[in-house]
Amino acid sequence: MPTPARVVFLPEADEPLAVEHVNLPDPSDFQVVVRQYASGICHSQLHQMHNPRNGDQILGHEATGEVIKVGAQVTNVAVGDMVFVTWVPRNAETATREVDPIVVERPNGRTATTRNVFTWADTTIADEKYIVKVPQDTRRDVTSIIGCAVLTGSGAVYNTAAVRAGQSVAVFGVGGVGLSAVVAASVVGADPIIAVDLDEEKLEFAKRFGATVGVNASSGDAIEQIHALTQSGLVTSFGEAVSGVDFAFDCIGREITMNQILQAVRPGVLGAETGGTAVLVGVPQSGVSFSETDMRGMLINEKKYIGSIGGSCRPDRDFPMFLAWAEDGALDLDAMVTERFTIGQINEATTALEHGEIFGRAIMDFND
């Protein structure tokens, strides 16, 4: 029997998002139907809205909910379980299994699809590889941002870069993902933790999550400020002062920040240690070019430039850890979720995000 659902559709044509009543199909062997409590609203969906597309789409990739139907081969969750929906396969075993396409039929007869999951809906259907069981008493609303924002930001620091106590970190862009990176840096004992943004209020806000210092890139050169904050007094055998951070995270993906993270990391010391690591976390919105000086610096200082997708997370392994951080206060989800919308307000929500009016992370609450 099909399941009624209210779903947000992104039309192929350049039109506003449409919220419509539809019927979801019954789950195939590995699929799960989830009645959702809340979903995060993230920049990736804005990118999807701005990019050309073939056909209508369904959006969103982080949510909390309760399992209401399972396919014949699903064993990791059962009806009644509290779960998170995420876009990263939950473990290595499921990661390479091919999934059935997700297709939802709209009232006008058109069909809409997604590459993995959709959570901008009060009820969703997804492959079990994207469904992670969590304790029944897990909070239903603010934890919905663990499935993308926390996974991406905290995972980049904890898993991809594996930052250790005492190492220095700079985080460019302190929205939901950047704040999550700051939290993980704080949990592992990084020092200093430098938040870089264009807005003084955002920098102050980041300190609530563990940033030890803020660098306002709109007042003076951010790279100079970072190097001034991280002088070691040492000199490399190439005569270069050793300053800069061990790790710089770009949580934005603009040409300027993709360039800055390479310049923000410290040089290596030949004979002693390799240089710092620039970590690309935000989805690139353009290409980037590096000067000859930057590239020579990368070579002689053994700097590294790496990408981090989904924070290199294994959700089955990592979500319990993030929930523990939330439990003990290190990850203050109540502070991080700064705006709430109903599903009917989705166009307002995306406009607010577009205009930079969302301070931390926005969620859609389906218990309205």
> CA 180, CA 200: separation in Å to the nearest integer?
18
DSSP state of 146: I
| Cα separation, 290 vs 113, whole angstroms | 38
d(CA 245, CA 225): 11
In the complex, the smallest distance separating the C-beta of residue 45 from Zn ion, rounded to whole angstroms, is 7
Alpha carbon 226 to chain centroid distance? 24
313 Cβ contact partners less than 8 Å away, ≥ 6 residues apart: 88, 151, 155, 159
Lookup: tokens for 329:
């206060």
CA distances from 117 to 32, 55, 121, 345 (A): 11, 16, 11, 21
Total binding residues for Zn ion by CB under 5 A?
A: 3
Three state DSSP letters for 9-69: EECCCCCCCEEEEEEECCCCCCEEEEEEEEEEECHHHHHHHHCCCCCEEECCCCEEEEEEE
d(CA 59, CA 46): 10
Both tokens of 219, joined, read 């007042």
Stretch that binds Zn ion, among 4-12, 25-33, 95-103, 148-156 (CB under 5 A): 148-156
Q: How far is the CB of 311 from Zn ion (least distance, A)?
A: 11
Task: Return the number of other C-beta atoms located less than 10 Å from residue 280's C-beta.
Answer: 24
Q: Which is nearer to Zn ion, 179 or 215 (CB)?
A: 179
Least Å distance, CB 44 to Zn ion, is 4
- The distance of closest approach from Cβ of residue 180 to Zn ion in the complex, given in angstroms and rounded to an integer, is 11
**Other residues' Cβ atoms within 10 Å of the Cβ of residue 1:** 6
Site string for Zn ion, 167-206 (x = CB under 5 A): ----------------------------------------
CB of 362 to Zn ion, least distance (A): 12
Of the pair 19, 42, the CB lying nearest Zn ion is at 42
Q: Tell me: does residue 74 bind Zn ion (CB under 5 A).
A: no
Query: Least separation, in Å, of the C-beta of 276 and Zn ion?
Result: 26
| x/- track of binding to Zn ion for residues 29-68 (CB under 5 A) | -------------x-x------------------------
Residue 3 to residue 120: CA distance in whole angstroms: 16
**Closest approach of Zn ion to the CB of residue 75, in Å:** 27
Piece of the chain touching Zn ion by CB under 5 A; list 146-154, 187-195, 227-235, 343-351: 146-154
Nearer to Zn ion, 74 or 353 (CB): 353
Question: Which one, 148 or 248, has the nearer CB to Zn ion?
Answer: 148
- Near Zn ion by CB under 5 A: residue from 24, 70, 148, 251: 148
Nearest CB to Zn ion, comparing residues 171 and 222: 171
Which residue's CB is nearer to Zn ion, number 44 or number 259? 44
DSSP code at position 96: T
Binding residues for Zn ion, per CB under 5 A?
42, 44, 148
